Amino acid sequence: MDELGQLQVQVSRLSSDVEYIKKDVADLKVDLRRMNDRIGVLDDKIGAVDARLYKMDKELTEKFGGINEKFGSVKLWFFGLCVTQAASTLLVMARGFKWL
């Protein structure tokens, strides 16, 4: 009988332990659902930020797209300026050395 009594005590202890485990698992499930909800909200916010960044990128591309064309004309103008400056320097030198 003593062994049978110990067996019943062990079974009752195991069943109470199982109840605690079930409660812990239920708490973990609730926490996991809350985290999933928060992750869903963060995903929505990140999606909104991504959309805004895409829109900004598109606007900046449109706004500064013409700069390459303008930069080409500025390079040409600067090259002409450098050639003119070099020619004027040579002219001043030629007159200074009385070559002209």
Concatenate the DSSP letters of all residues of 2-45 into one string: HHHHHHHHHHHHHHHHHHHHHHHHHHHHHHHHHHHHHHHHHHHH
More confident residue, 72 or 55: 55
Per-residue model confidence (pLDDT) at position 63: 81
pLDDT at 76 over 90: no
The Cβ-side half-sphere exposure at 23, using a 13 Å CA radius, reads 6
Residue 66 dihedral angles phi and psi, to the nearest 5°: -80, -5
CA distance linking residue 16 with residue 8, whole number of Å: 12
End-to-end CA distance of the chain: 134
Place of tokens 């909104």: 48
Residue type, 74: V
pLDDT at 1 over 60: no
Per-residue model confidence (pLDDT) at position 82: 95
What does pTM read for this prediction? 0.47
Confidence of residue 62 (pLDDT cuts 50, 70, 90): confident
Per-residue model confidence (pLDDT) at position 4: 78
Reduced to 3 DSSP states, what percent helix, strand and coil does the chain have, rounded to the nearest 5? 95, 0, 5
pLDDT at 34 over 80: yes
pLDDT at 68 over 80: no
Look up residue 27 and give its two tokens. 């708490």
